[in-house]
Amino acid sequence: MIKKSTIDQVFDAARVEEVIGDFVQLKKSGSNYKGLSPFTDERTPSFMVSPVKQIWKDFSSGKGGNVVAFIMEHEHFNYPEAIKYLAKKYGIEIEETEQTDEQKQLADERESMYLVSEFANKFFQKKLLKTEQGKAIGLSYFKERGFTNETIEKFDLGYSPDIWDAFTEEALKQGYQLEFLEKTGLTIVKEQKKFDRFKGRVMFPIHSMSGRTLGFGGRILTNEKKAAKYLNSPESDIYHKSKVLYGIYYAKQSIAKEDNCYLVEGYTDVIQMHQAGIENVVASSGTALTPEQIRLINRLTKNITVLFDGDAAGLRASLRGIDLILEQGMNVKVCAFPEGEDPDSFAKANTKEDIEAYLQQNSKDFISFKASLLVDQAQGDPIKKAEVIRDMVNSIAKIPDQIQQEIYLKECTRIMDVSEDVLYSTLAQLNAKNNKDSGRKTSTQKKNFEVIKQPKEVRPKVDRQFELERNIISLLLRYGKVEDEFEEYVYKEDRDGNLELELEKQEAKVYEKIFLDLQEDEIEFTNDSFRLLYEQIIYEFNTKEDLKVETFINQLSPEQASDITSILMAEEKNVLHRWEDQDIFVQPRTKLEAREVNDTILNLRLHLVKQKVAELMQDAKKDIAEHHQEILEQVIEYKKLEMNIAERIKRVL
């Protein structure tokens, strides 16, 4: 169990904008930051981070909270794991007892798989660096590749002994269950026999964006014809190769800083580029590029540069990946290395400055690159040239932004020496063809829509009490400890015994004013979440006479934290909606207006009185006998109270 003092230390050190900046590309927006949601697939930002309040809010998914809540949501960590992650990031030492076998068994299935993978990672590293076989075979291989000790340690490179069950036996001996060894794919079980999947291979651990070990890639070092050269962990609950990029953990900060991501093919390409000082590099882990992998990069930057080796056949095969990148609304460039070179060999043979200069000078826009690659084949052949043009326009059709489409069409016109009209016509034909199949159903629905009169849209009814209770929580959070002078009209008897409204002024803190007024009327919150928040907020003020949002939110459940962030970042939502572009100017609320407190409380009173009148009227309809007159008298009294409150609201306003 982690000590409270350590947790407090973590919260003091961790900055929400720094932590989230490791996973999401954030851009300054006033005093806040905004970016694309890491929880939903979107192209316009709906994710806001407040450095002042130390909270974040994702308006597309509704999630929100503090820095720990983000790590828990994004990485599926439990609370202690999130604290450990942040402690590691900020260099804070955490003391904890070693897990017993019983505790390991109690961990949930996913966590058990993570634990097994982490144990395997350390096991392979130890075998590489601490055993004679590991040094002679594994370490010598990495040294031949030109990797330094620092690089080997940084990427957690390892070695799996050339023994059938070396890892499996050690894991079982340490108390890890065979069930999870098999589910992670580290152990293969067949007919009561169990053996290591990665026997006799050098190991490349594959990490999540936060650094957790998800799976492995293993390279064999012998010339066995039956064995695959590279072997990856199978798909599991924690490892989905289509959603993972090799090296993303080490590259994320550099990608965000450079606002560009270099995409390569293999593990050693990534490692060698990092060792040369080019760190914004990731690989697709030996699989064809997927939309999920592209979206992972999209959180950090809109710019991808695809690096190819000099093999022309490989270049053509990889062009399909470029179309996928374009479909995701990304900006893509392409850079090919000289014939016979790949990112690994080129980085090994050149300095950082030479590599950067080469990439800068040879990175081409995808349309120029595609043209240079395909045009050579079409020289003197009109039919092939037409195919090349159609291929290029097909790529342009993938781009969701129409302005970018037009710019690329003009560029294609210049390169291919063909008229714009022809290209626009070709683009229209391609769009029509693409929409033909997918649009048939939509087209039929549209015709039905035109023929059948649609029912009038029913707008959702506003829950007035919910909004008023929410506003009270907002006032307490924003201005709870602020002291002000409150004006209120109260009924007093004059000399003749008549009631008249008189103005009274009183000094009070906002939380005192709200608490006493609600207590006087015995008003209770109907929304359970708001009721609990109200009680916790009032307790904080009564015991500490202050409430710091950044520490208060640490005590809340994820659901409460989400409610708090929705309330506190309502104005930030206006920024995302860009109302000013529509000539709608939302006045930011930077200081307390005493009238707002009175108005909210009086409106809540009025709403509750109207509810009571409605209930009594319903009772009157049901009970036409003995209690009828009594109910009507109560209605009259409540209607008088309703008029009184309405009059007081009018005076306040």
User: Does residue 279 contact residue 251 with C-beta atoms inside 8 Å?
Assistant: yes
Q: Cα–Cα distance between 527 and 560 in angstroms, integer?
A: 12
Interstrand relation of 281-283 and 303-308 (parallel, antiparallel or unpaired): unpaired
What are the residue boundaries of the structural domains of the chain, listed by start?
A: 4-89, 103-239, 248-431, 464-575+589-652
pLDDT of residue 246: 96
Name the DSSP class of 557: -
Average pLDDT per block of 10 residues along the chain, 653 residues long: 83 91 88 88 86 88 88 82 89 73 64 93 97 96 96 97 95 94 95 92 94 94 81 93 93 90 94 97 84 89 88 62 87 89 94 96 86 70 82 86 86 84 84 65 42 48 81 87 77 69 78 83 82 87 79 79 83 60 52 77 82 78 65 77 72 48
User: What is the dotted CATH code of the domain comprising 103-239?
Assistant: 3.90.980.10
Q: Cα–Cα distance between 128 and 119 in angstroms, integer?
A: 14
pLDDT of residue 574: 61
Residue 563's closest CA among 601, 524, 523, 534?
534
Q: Cα–Cα distance between 17 and 54 in angstroms, integer?
A: 8
pLDDT of residue 215: 96
Assigned token pair, 630: 């009594």
Q: Reduced to 3 states, what is the DSSP secondary structure of residue 491?
A: strand
Q: What top-level class would CATH report for the domain 4-89?
A: alpha beta
The set of residues, in sequence order, having a beta carbon less than 8 Å from that of 81 and lying 6+ positions away, is 72, 75
pLDDT of residue 181: 96
CATH fold of the domain at 248-431: Dna Topoisomerase Vi A Subunit; Chain: A, domain 2 (3.40.1360)
Percentage of the chain lying above the pLDDT 90 cut = 31
pTM of the model: 0.70
| Residues pairing with 499 in the sheet | 493
361 CB neighbour count, 10 Å cutoff: 9
Contacts 24+ apart (CB under 8 A), 176-183: 176/104, 176/115, 176/116, 176/119, 177/104, 177/105, 177/112, 180/109, 180/112, 180/113, 180/115, 180/116, 181/116, 183/109, 183/113, 183/236, 183/237
Helices (H) and strands (E) in the chain, counts: 29, 18
Q: Is 56 exposed, middle or buried (0-12, 13-18, 19+ CB in 10 A)?
A: buried
